[in-house]
Amino acid sequence: MGAIIYKGIEGETIPYNGTDYTYYGPADLEVTENQDGTVFYDFTLRDDLVFSDGEPVTIDDVIFSMYVVCDPTYDGSATLFSQPIEGMQEYRSGMDTLFNLIYAAGEDNTDFTFWTQEQQDKFWSELNAGKETFIKEICDYCIAAGLNAEGDSVAACLKNWGFEFDDAITAPEAFDKMVADGYAGDVLEMVGTETAGSTIEDLMPSYSEYTIGVETGESAPNITGIQKTGDYTMRVVATKVDATLIYQLATAIAPLHYYGDKAQYDYDNNQFGFPKGDLSMVRAKTTEPMGAGPYKFVKFENGVVNFEANDSYYLGAPKTKYVNFREVQDQDKLNGVVTGTIDITDPSFHVDAAAAISAENGGELTGDKITTDTVDNLGYGYIGINSHNVMVGDDPASEESKNLRRAFATIFSVYRDVAIDSYYGEVASVINYPISNTSWAAPQPTDDGYEIAFSEDVEGNPIYTSDMDADAKYAAAKAAALGFFEAAGYTVADGKVTAAPEGAKMEYEVQIPADGSGDHPSFMILTLAKDALAELGINLIVTDLTNSSDLWTGLEAGQVEMWCAAWGATVDPDMYQIYYSDVANGGAQPGGSNYMYQIEDEELDSMILEARESTDQEYRKAMYKACLDTIIDWACEIPVYQRQNAIIFSTERVNMDTVTPDITTFYGWMQEIQNIELK
C-alpha cells in the first residue's frame, strides 16, 4: 500500500489483506517536525550490513551516495537535489545570500560585481548600529538579571553570557569575535542563538533586502542539511514540511570504497569521496554495479545478466544461488515460461495475453503451468485538452471555454467503455478521476461524492441511466454535448452546430502517438468520437504520430490542442508538478509540466500547496478530492483507463509457496527474492 516502515531494524508488523506481515528494512527513521517549520529526519542504520565484497556498510556510504546524487553535474534519475533540504541550493549553484556575501567581503570591499556601493554602505551602517544594540541588550539583560552591575564592561557582561574576551573590547569587536569564533562566520546563526531579545530583523531594519540569493558561481562546500551524527546515524534537515521528501530520501546506498575513493572521504573537511563536479569515477563503474543487495552482479554477456547469491545479505542468504536476467521480446515471454527458457516474466497484459495464458492453463489465469499475479499499473491513460488552445474568446477559465471542452470530454468519455473493453477486457478498468487507482488518494466508488466522469449535462443532471444500452448512451452523450456547445456560444440549429463564436473553431485536432499502427486503446475512442462529432457538425482531425517525441515537442511549444498519453504515477499523489500554475503571481513559477493542460486556477494552486504541506493522510485525501473535482471541472483531462500489469511464474518450476505473498504495486515480487526456491 505504499506505507512507510519507520522501524526497519526490529521490523514493523502491519496487517494487509487479512494477514499480518512483518517488514524489515536496513534502517530506522524518526521524523520530527519542529516549531520553526523545519523537519528533522534521523536515520539509524543497522550495524551489521555488509556489501557483497565483504566491506561493512557505514553511514559514510550513505552520505557519499547522497552527495553523488546531489552533485551539480549529476544527470541520473534520482531527484534528491530538488528537495527542500537545507543548504542544497547553496551547494549546487553557488548561491549565497546577499547578506553573507557583503559581510564576508568586509567593510573595505571595492568589488561591486554583485551589489552596489550604496547597498554596501547601507548594510554596514545598519549592521554596525545593530551590533551596538545587540551587545547592549545582552549587557542590559545581565544587569537586569543581577549577573552584572551597572557600568560593567562589555567583556564582563559577555563573560556571563559565556564568552571570554579582553576587558577593553568594544561592542562591535565583541560581536565580530562571537561570530568568527563561535559560529564560523555565520552571523545569522550567532544572532539567532545568542540574542537577548532582538532578532536580526530588529537589528537591521532593511534586513529583508539582504536575504535574496545571489549567484556568485562559488558554491558552498557542503550541504548543511546533511549531517553525520555518528558511525551509523545521520540527520537530514528539511527547510519546510514536504510530504514528498520522505520518499526521495529512499536513496540506494552505494559503496564508498568501490564507487568513490575512500582516501578522498573526510567528512569534517568537506570531502565526500570524490572531487565535487567530477563524477567520472562513479560513471566508470556503471556497467559493473556492486551493492549490499541479495544478489551480486557477476557479468553481463550474451544478452544475459548473471547474478550470484550474496550470502551476507542482511535478511538472510538467498535460497537460490544463481539468478539470470535475460532480455526477451514481449511476444516470447509467455512461450518462454511454457517452454522452460524463463521462469518469471512480465508480459504486457491485454485481452489476447490473458486468453493465451488461460489457454495454457486450461481455462484459468492461474493453474498448473502458469501462476499469474496482477497488480494495478502505477499510472493511467488519459486524453488531454490544452486550455489555451481550446477555448472561447481569450479566457481559458470562462464558463464558455469550459463548456466547449466539456462538450468534447463528454463525447470522448462515452466511448471509453467500448474501446477499453475490447482492448483489455476485464484486465483494465475505466477510471473516473485523473489519478491512478494505486494511489491512496484515489476516490473510490464508496466515497462520498464519487461521480462518473463527464456524465452530466449543462444543467448538472446525470445523462445516463442504468438501463441504457450502448446506442442510447451514445445518443445521450451527443445530446449533452450539443447542449455544451450551445452554452459555449456556438450556434445550434436542427441538432447540428453551424457556427463557432469568437475565438473558437469548428475544427480541432487531436494527436495520438500510436506508432502509425493504431495500436493504442484510445485510438478507437478517437475514431468513434470523430464520427459522432461529425454528426454534430464539428470536424475532429485525428493525427497518428509515428514518433512520440513530436507530441512532446509540440506540447512544449504550446501548439497541441488535444492529445492522448499516459501518466506514470509516483507513490505520493502530490499534484504540484502538473497542476500548479502560480497564476496568482502571473505564472512566474509554475510546476514543471503545467504547460501541458495550462489549468490556471488560483484556488487549485492554494489547495495543492496546502495538501503538500501536511503529512496527515486523511486531510490530504480530502484535499486532493477537492483538487480532482476542480480539475474535472476544467475539463482539460479526461481520464481513460487504468490497466494492470501481470507477473507470470512457472508453476512447474518455481515453488509458489516461497514467492513473495500478496504482491502489490508497491511491494513487488523482488522484495522477498531471497526466499524464492525452485522445485
478 to 537, contacts with another protein by CB under 8 A? 514-519, 523-524, 527-528
Q: Binders of another protein among 558-597, rule CB under 8 A? A: 570, 574, 576-577, 592-593
Distance CA 510, CA 488 (A): 20
Distance CA 170, CA 185 (A): 18
Least separation, in Å, of the C-beta of 269 and another protein? 28
Q: Which stretch binds another protein (CB under 8 A): 12-20, 30-38, 396-404, 639-647?
A: 12-20
What are the grid coordinates assigned to 478, written together? 451527443
The tally of CA atoms less than 13 A away on the side-chain side of residue 473 is 18
What are the grid coordinates assigned to 279, written together? 563524477
Least separation, in Å, of the C-beta of 338 and another protein? 7
166-204 b/e (C-beta count within 10 Å ≥ 16 → b) = eeebebbebbbebbeeebeebbbebbeebbbebebeebb
Pinpoint the alpha helices (H) of 205-350. Answer: 245-248, 256-259, 280-284, 333-339
What are the grid coordinates assigned to 405, written together? 471542452
Q: Measured from the CB atom, is 232 or 424 closer to another protein?
A: 424
Nearest CA to 640 out of 312, 374, 414, 442 is that of 414
Q: Measured from the CB atom, is 131 or 416 closer to another protein?
A: 416
Listing DSSP states for 369-422 in one string gives SEEEEEEE-SEEEEEEE-TTTS-STT-TTSHHHHHHHHHHHHHHHHTHHHHHHH
- Contact map string, positions 542 to 561, toward another protein, x by CB under 8 A: -xxxxx-xx-xx--x-----
Q: Which stretch binds another protein (CB under 8 A): 184-192, 269-277, 361-369, 606-614?
A: 606-614
Give SS3 for 27: strand
Residue 293 Cα distances to 248, 257, 350, angstroms:
19, 16, 33
Q: Binders of another protein among 337-356, rule CB under 8 A? A: 338-341, 351-353, 355-356
Q: Measured from the CB atom, is 112 or 450 closer to another protein?
A: 450
- Contact map string, positions 15 to 44, toward another protein, x by CB under 8 A: -xxx--------------------------
Least separation, in Å, of the C-beta of 380 and another protein? 15
Q: Measured from the CB atom, is 488 or 583 closer to another protein?
A: 583
Looking at the DSSP assignment, which residues form a beta bridge with residue 326?
304
- Residue 3 interacts with another protein (CB under 8 A)? no
- Antiparallel, parallel or unpaired: β 562-568 and 507-512: parallel
Pick left, alpha or beta for residue 662 (phi over 0 → left; psi -120 to 50 → alpha; otherwise beta): left
Least separation, in Å, of the C-beta of 200 and another protein? 29
Least separation, in Å, of the C-beta of 84 and another protein? 9
Instruction: Answer whether 540's CB lies under 8 Å from 529's CB.
Output: yes
What are the grid coordinates assigned to 300, written together? 553481463
Q: Measured from the CB atom, is 110 or 465 closer to another protein?
A: 465
Length of the chain: 679
Q: Which stretch binds another protein (CB under 8 A): 122-130, 193-201, 377-385, 540-548?
A: 540-548
Q: Measured from the CB atom, is 462 or 495 closer to another protein?
A: 462
Least separation, in Å, of the C-beta of 437 and another protein? 8
Q: Which of 75, 268, 494, 657 binds another protein (CB under 8 A)?
A: 75
- Residue 677 interacts with another protein (CB under 8 A)? no
# residues contacting another protein (CB under 8 A)? 106
- Residue 307 interacts with another protein (CB under 8 A)? no
Q: Which of 149, 229, 317, 322 binds another protein (CB under 8 A)?
A: 322
- Residue 251 interacts with another protein (CB under 8 A)? no
Q: Which of 118, 167, 327, 459 binds another protein (CB under 8 A)?
A: 327
Q: Measured from the CB atom, is 190 or 245 closer to another protein?
A: 245
Q: Which stretch binds another protein (CB under 8 A): 39-47, 202-210, 423-431, 477-485?
A: 423-431
- Residue 459 interacts with another protein (CB under 8 A)? no
Q: Binders of another protein among 253-292, rule CB under 8 A? A: 283, 286-287
Instruction: Answer whether 527's CB lies under 8 Å from 419's CB.
Output: no
The type of residue at 74 is Y
531-565 b/e (C-beta count within 10 Å ≥ 16 → b) = ebbeebbbebebbebeeeeebeebbeeeebbbbbb
Least separation, in Å, of the C-beta of 187 and another protein? 29
Q: Which stretch binds another protein (CB under 8 A): 38-46, 268-276, 303-311, 480-488?
A: 303-311
Q: Measured from the CB atom, is 269 or 446 closer to another protein?
A: 446
Distance CA 409, CA 322 (A): 52
